[in-house]
A and B are shown apart, each in its own frame.
Chain A
Amino acid sequence: MSAAEKTRERRVHRSGRLFASELGLMCGRRRNQVGLATLFALVVLVGVALKVSAMRRPGSRGGDLVSAVAGNGIYLGFAGLTIEIALFLPLAVSVLAGDAVAGEANQGTLRYLLLAPVGRLRLLVVKAGALIVGSVIGAMVVAAGGVLTGVVLFGAGPLISLSGTQLSVADGLWRLALAALYVATGLAALGMIGLFISTLTEQPIAATVATAMVGTLLWVLDAVPQLDWLHPWLLVDRWPAFVDLLREPVFLDRIVAGLGINAAYGAVFFALAWLRFRGKDITS
C-alpha cells in the first residue's frame, strides 16, 4: 500500500468517524427525540380520531386516503405522510438544519471542529449527509408509525389501489416505503436550503425559523391559482405526488419530475452553502 493510499484510507476513516459522531449527536439530542415523538404522536392522534368517528358513523367511507383508513389500517401510513408533509415534517427538518452549522457556531464548537484535520467541504458534506439521514428517519417514522397505529386500530388487509386493483399487504408496504423515501428526498432538499441559511447566521433558532418560513412560503405560493405558471418550479409542488405510487400501473411522470426538482434545489443550495461556508470567518 502506497503512502497516498494510506492517507486516503485514513481520511475516509476519519470522515466516517465524523459522520458517525454527527449522527450520534443528531439522534442523541433530546429536542430531536421529542420532535420525532411528536411526529409519531400526530399520526396516533389522527388514527384515534378516525377510529372514534368510524365508531360513531360506521359504514360511511369516502375515497380519499384519510377516509380509506377506516377500511384498512395500512392506509394510515399514506394518510400520515399526506397530513404531515405540509408543516410538521418540514418543521422537523428545519430544526435539524438550523442546528447544522449555526448551532455549532452558537455553542462555540465550530472552531474546534475545524481545528481537527477536517476540510470545510468535508465537514459540510457530513452535515448534509446527516440532514439526509434525518429526513429519511422523519418520513419513515411517520409512515411506520401510521402503519403501526392503523393496524392496531383498524386491522390490516390487501389494499385497493387508486386504479381499483387489489394490492397485497407486502406490495402495499413496499410502495409505502418508496413513498416515504420519495418524501424524504424533498425534505432533504429543504434541508439543503436550511443548511445554506444555517451558514448565514450564528443563531440556530433564526436559521430554523427562516427555513420553516421558506417551506411554508413555498406551500402558500403553490396554493395560489393565479401563480400556476410558477408552480412547476416550486420545490414543494410535486411532493404530494407520492400517491402516484398507489396507481396501477404506477404513474412515474410526476415523481420523476419531482425527484429532478428536489435534486436541483438540493444541489444549488448545497453549493451556495459551501460557497458561503468556505470563505466564512469563524469567530466563535
Chain B
Amino acid sequence: MKAQQQSETRRRTTRLIGAGVIVALLLASLTGLFARGAAADPTLPPLTPTELLNRVATAQVDGMSATFTQRSDLGLPALPSGIGGGDELQSALTLLTGTHTIRVWTAGPQHSRVSLVDDDSESSVIRNGNQVWTWSSEQQKAGHATIDAKTPTARPTGAPSTPAEAIDRLLKAIGPSTEVTASGTGYVAGRPVYQLILAPKDAASLIGQVRLFVDATTYVPLGLRVLDRGGAEAVSLLASTVDFSVPAAGVFEFTPPAGVEVTELDAKASDHPTGTAKSRPETKTVGTGWTTVLVASTGTTKVTDATAKALLDSLPAVSGAWGRGRLLSTSLVNVVLTDDGRVAVGAVTEDRLYAALAR
C-alpha cells in the first residue's frame, strides 16, 4: 500500500517536472524573442535636439557592417511584376511594398557597399575607391563606372557624398518648417539610441512625423520610422545588426564573373538611371520643405504598356480647374497623373496637388 502511494507520488512529481520543463521552454523561447523589445529604455546623458543633430552631422566612423530591415505599408497592393519600364525603376518600385533586407558596409568615404537581399536574388552598388560597380543577380548583369580621381567626392548632380552631408542638407531644407523634439531613448539592434522626432508644421503634409534613431556612442543614425497623419507607420528602416569594426577589404572588391554582361555606365547615368537625356521630363517644384510638390511634364499622353494602362485605368478619375486625370492616393504620397501628360507628386493632400497643377 505504502509502495503504491510512493510510486503514485513519484509519478505525480515526474509529471509536474515534465509540465514544468515545457512551460520553462515556452517561456524561455518567448522571453528570448521579446527580450529586446521589452528591455527598459537606457539612461543616456541628456542632449538637446540641436546638440544631437550637430553630433549626427559630424559623426564619423572608420567602418561599419549593418543589416537593415525596410518595411513599407503605404496601403498599396503588391505591384504586379513587369510594369514600370526600366529595370532600375522597377527595383525601386518593389521597395514601396512589403519587407526588404538591406546589407550595408562602409570603410571611410571611399569604400561602401549596399546590397538589397531578397528571397533568392541580390542587387548591389559597390564603391571601391574610384571604381563603382552595380550588380543584379536576377538579370546576371553588372555595371561599371569610374569616378574622376581628382574630384572623388563631387558628383555631377551635386548629390551628397556622405550621410552626414545628406542629413545636414535635409535639416537645412526642412529646418524652418519642422518641429524637432527629443523623445527619450531606446534600443535599435541591441544598441542604446537617442530618439528624435521631426514633425512637419504644415497641416497639408501627409507625413505625421519622422522618428530618427541615433546611436548613442557613434551618433550614426540606425534607423527611422515615418508615420502618417493618423499615426500609423508607413515606412520604416531599422538596423537589425550593427558592427562598427572595419569590414574586410574583400567586401568592396568586385570582379564581374565570366559570362556576365557588363555595361559601362557614365557617372551621370548611374545617378539617374531612369531618365535618359532624350526623354528626361521637364520638372518644377511648387512649395518648400515637407510640402514640396514636384510637377513634371512627361510630354507623352499615351501609355503603351498594357499592364500599366490597366493599372492606370483602375485609379479613381479626378478633375478640376487644372484639368482631368487620375489620382493615386497612398497614406504617405499622393500622385496625380493628368490626361495631358503631367504628373504631380508630393507628400501632401490631393488639394495641394491640384493647386500646384493649376499654377
Task: With both chains docked as a complex, state the minimum distance between the C-beta of B29 and any C-beta of chain A, in angstroms.
Answer: 5
A159 and chain B: residue at smallest CB distance: B257
Tell me, in angstroms, the Cα distance from A71 to B254 when the chains sit together: 21
Query: Which residues of chain A come closer than 8 Å to B140, judged between CB atoms?
Result: 61-63, 160
Bound: A82/B115 CA distance, A: 22
B25 touching A268, Cβ below 8 Å:
yes
| Nearest A residue (CB) for B253 | A165
- Chain B contacts of A254 at CB under 8 A? 101
Do A164 and B138 form a contact, CB below 8 Å, given A240-B119, A271-B22, A272-B22?
A: no
Contact B241 A253 (CB under 8 A): yes
User: Is A243 engaged at the interface, CB distance under 8 Å to the other chain?
Assistant: yes
CB-CB under 8 A for A253 and B115, given A63-B138, A163-B124, A274-B18: no
Residue of B with least CB distance to A254: B101
A38 beta carbon closer than 8 Å to chain B: no
Does B330 touch A at the CB level, under 8 Å?
Answer: no
Contacts of A228 in B (CB 8 A): 99
The answer to whether A253 and B120 have CB atoms under 8 Å apart is no
Chain A interface category by residue count:
20 to 34
Q: Is the CB of B122 within 8 A of A163?
A: yes
Q: Which of chain B's residues 1-17 have a Cβ closer than 8 Å to chain A? A: 14-15
Residue of A nearest to B247 (CB): A249
Does B78 have its Cβ within 8 Å of any Cβ on chain A?
yes
User: B121 to chain A: which residues have CB within 8 Å?
Assistant: 63-64, 162
A63 to B139, CA, bound (A): 5
Whether B67 lies near A275 (C-beta < 8 A) is no
Most buried by B among A64, A82, A162, A253: A162
Say whether A264 faces chain B, with CB atoms less than 8 Å apart.
Answer: yes
- In the complex, chain A residues whose CB is within 8 Å of the CB of B122: 162-164, 247
CB within 8 A of B78: which of A225, A268, A278? A225
Q: Does B251 contact A (CB under 8 A)?
A: yes
For the complex formed, measure the closest distance between the CB of A75 and the CB atoms of chain B, giving whole angstroms.
11
Please report the total number of B residues contacting A with Cβ < 8 Å. Answer: 41
Q: Mark A139-171, 1 if CB is under 8 A from B, else 0.
A: 000000000000000000010101111100000
Interfacial chain B residues near A279, Cβ < 8 Å: 15
A65 touches B120 (CB 8 A): yes
Interface: A282 (CB within 8 A): no
User: Are B257 and A166 touching (Cβ within 8 A)?
Assistant: yes
CA separation between A64 and B122, bound complex, in Å?
Answer: 10
A160 touches B260 (CB 8 A): yes
A253 vs B251: C-alpha distance when bound (angstroms): 17
Task: Please report which residues of chain A, range 254-268, place their CB below 8 angstroms from some CB of chain B when the two chains form the complex.
Answer: 254, 260, 264, 267-268
Bound complex: CA A267 to CA B26 (Å): 10
Within 8 A of B (CB), among A213-257: 225, 228, 240, 243-244, 247, 249, 251, 253-254
For B79-111 the 0/1 string (1 means CB < 8 A from A) is 000000000000000000011010100000000
- Are the CB atoms of B137 and A163 closer together than 8 Å? yes
18 pairs, A vs B, C-beta closer than 8 Å: A62-B140, A63-B139, A63-B140, A160-B259, A163-B124, A165-B254, A165-B257, A228-B99, A240-B120, A244-B117, A251-B67, A251-B103, A251-B117, A253-B101, A268-B22, A268-B26, A268-B29, A275-B22
List 17 additional A-B contacts (Cβ < 8 Å) besides A62-B138, A64-B121: A63-B140, A65-B120, A82-B120, A160-B260, A163-B135, A164-B122, A164-B254, A164-B257, A166-B258, A247-B115, A247-B117, A253-B67, A253-B241, A264-B29, A267-B25, A268-B25, A278-B18
